[in-house]
Amino acid sequence: MTAPAPRYDFAAPVVSLELLGHVHLIAIGGAGMSAVARLLLDRGVRVSGSDAADGPVLESLRERGARIDVGHEAAHVADADTVVVSSAIRDDNVELVAARGADLRVLHRSQALASLMGTSRRVAVAGANGKTTTTSMLVVALVAAGADPSFASGGEIAQLGTNAALGGGPDFVVEADESDGSFLAYRPDVAVVTNVQPDHLDFYGSRANVEAAYASFVESITDGGLLVACFDDPGSRRLADTARAAGRTVLTYGSAEGADLRVGEITARGLGTRSVVVHEGVERALELEVPGDHNVLDACAAYLAAVVGLGADPDAVLAGLAGFGGARRRFEVRGEVDGVTVVDDYAHNPAKVAAVVGTASELVHRAGNGSLRVVFQPHLYSRTRDFAAEFAQALAPADQVVLLDVYGAREQPMPGVTSALIGDPLRALPGRRDVLVGPTRTEAVAALTSAARPGDLLLTVGAGDVTALAALVVSALRTRSEKVT
């Protein structure tokens, strides 16, 4: 299958921030768009925006000086010089149509972010899995090392209370989204690739096209720049080998022999981990407060980017990583009631789901005789169709699985594509587990809380609105507790 034709030219020269003028952001309330809006406001740029519904994010932007309209109308872009959109904005959006009709500059969100980066040393973190956590770890580590980086992450960094900020230092760290090819906009001095896996096939069409896009991402690294890549992931390792053969500077990390930074045995410490890493013959302890081998690998990527890529002090970086408190919706503990812990996670592709469910299962069974109960909301009809069997395998360690209806996001329903595509093969896998397919939210909460016992871990998982169930589950557990007492 041929590579997709992108809607925006991510290889086009970066537009200087001074040339943007008045910037209008369509759907300004989204996580990525609101981050760009905050950064633009911090740079003193005149900002306006629109969104379908009002809310706290829009109000916070108003308080910072943005003009915000609820609803989409052509008149909203009448006095704008530049219009910024995400890939979720359709070409028939009335504001986008008006902007193009008036020959205004139209930029993708990533292109506007590249303009904000200016002459900073640019770090771009990409990968199918782990890029939000790695970005967050890197920012926290740099702050601990005395740096003052600018950053834009896909999730709120718990310790900093935001997903984007302008710093006074020379470094700018961004989470680079591969889903639509927009990670090609940044021209990084340091690029991190956590893994290369066949996700977002609704855009790319084939694994070969995904790998070609990552190859282009590596080609976008500045001359003399650094690629940090995971040695344990086959796709990332191939990318690293190709880049090294082409004369690029490459550092790899992983547990497999041959990695430039080698991870030793990983041991659990409560909800955290302890391991030893070896780089250039020097052995150092790596301690984390977040669980899972995958988080250890993400920390290794952050370490190499900070220490080798940006020259930060190794001990200070390790101290920052040791204090990393996590990113929102990345194994985020939302409450504990009567010995039942409720955790929320953004995982939405098979590898991410496998990592979070596997980590949770280890925690539960290491602690005692508790059960792992998971409510999973499939994200995108195309992803559910393409990876149903892989999702079933990823969910298999759970003792109870509640499968919500598919969250379509930008996609329209597809005939025959429901969460049953995951539930049916999951029921057929070896082992004993309860599987509930397609319940209402009320039924899902009731199924989880009625079965929960002390020592259990309840996971709400997915990239859609399943996150709202975490609070509902905690509330239901408290109500149950009050009735008992």
CATH number at residue 94: 3.40.50.720
289 is catalytic: no
For tokens 């539930």, name the residue. 423
Mapped onto helix, strand or coil, the DSSP state of residue 46 is: coil
Task: Specify whether 211 is catalytic.
Answer: no
Same domain, 266 and 169: yes
Q: Which of 162, 181, 177, 69 is nearest to 124 (CA)?
A: 177
Task: Evaluate whether residue 475 is within a structural domain.
Answer: yes
Whether residues 257 and 369 share a domain: the answer is no
Residues 82, 95, 132, 341: which is the catalytic one?
132
* Boundary (domain end) residue, out of 298, 322, 346: 322
Query: Pick from 290, 322, 354: which residue ends a domain?
Result: 322
Q: What is the pLDDT of residue 446?
A: 92
| CATH of residue 453 | 3.90.190.20
Same domain, 442 and 314: no
Confidence (pLDDT) at 3: 55
What is the rounded distance in angstroms from the CA atom of residue 202 to the CA atom of residue 320? 38
Alpha carbons within 13 A on the beta-carbon side of 406: 27
| pLDDT at 6 > cutoff 80 | no
Question: Are 138 and 253 part of one and the same domain?
Answer: yes
User: Domain range spanning residue 39?
Assistant: 17-112
3-state secondary structure of 405: coil
Whole-number Å distance between alpha carbons of 402 and 295? 26
The answer to whether residue 248 sits within a structural domain is: yes
Tally the domains of the chain. 3
Lowest mean pLDDT across 190-204, 301-315, 390-404: 190-204
H or E, element range at 120: none
Backbone φ/ψ region at 175: left (φ over 0), alpha (ψ -120 to 50), beta? beta
> For residue 145, what is the domain's CATH number?
3.40.1190.10
Assess whether 278 and 403 both reside in one domain.
no
Q: Are residues 279 and 407 in the same domain?
A: no
Q: Encode pLDDT of 419-453 as tens digits.
A: 999 999 999 999 889 999 999 999 999 999 988 89
Query: Can you read off the two tokens belonging to residue 249?
Result: 């500077």
pLDDT tens per residue, range 24-64: 999 998 878 898 999 999 999 999 999 988 888 889 899 99
Strands (E), 218-339: 226-230, 249-254, 261-263, 267-269, 272-279, 282-288, 332-337
Angle of the 131-144 helix axis to the 293-304 helix axis, nearest 10: 50
Task: Answer yes or no: do 82 and 223 share one domain.
Answer: no
Strands 261-263 and 249-254: parallel
Per annotation, catalytic residue among 95, 131, 133, 359: 131
Tokens 């939000």 correspond to what residue?
A: 132
Q: Model confidence at 67, in pLDDT bands (50, 70, 90)?
A: very high
- Summary mean pLDDT of the chain: 90
* Domain annotation covers residue 3: no
pLDDT score, position 235: 93
Residue 253 covered by a domain:
yes
Pairwise CA distance, residues 442 & 423, whole Å: 19
Looking at the structure, tell me whether residues 288 and 139 fall in a common domain.
Answer: yes
Least trusted range by pLDDT, from 104-118, 248-262, 319-333, 349-363: 319-333
- Tell me, what's the pLDDT at 197? 80
pLDDT for the residue numbered 181:
80
Q: Do 336 and 308 reside in the same domain of the chain?
A: no
Among 82, 134, 156, 175, the one annotated catalytic: 175
Q: Is 10 inside any structural domain?
A: no
Residues 218 and 315 in one domain: yes
Nearest to 459 by CA among 369, 338, 391, 360: 360
- Decide which of 112, 140, 159 is a domain's last residue: 112
CA dist 240 and 484 (Å) reads: 58
Q: Residue 28: inside a domain, yes or no?
A: yes
Mean pLDDT of 326-332: 71
Mean pLDDT of 258-282: 89
Query: Active site includes 131?
Result: yes
In a domain, 327, yes or no: no
Long-range contacts of 206-214 (CB under 8 A, 24+ apart): 206/1, 208/1, 209/1, 209/2, 209/3, 209/4, 210/178, 211/235, 211/238, 211/239, 212/3, 213/3, 213/178, 213/181, 213/183, 213/184, 214/126, 214/178, 214/239
Using pLDDT thresholds of 50, 70 and 90, give the confidence band for residue 156: confident
Domain annotation covers residue 133: yes
Reported as a single tens digit per residue, the pLDDT across 209-258 is: 888 999 999 999 999 999 999 999 999 999 999 999 999 999 999 999 99
**Residue 1 pLDDT exceeds 60:** no
Residues 173 and 314 in one domain: yes
Judge if 431 and 382 occupy the same domain.
yes
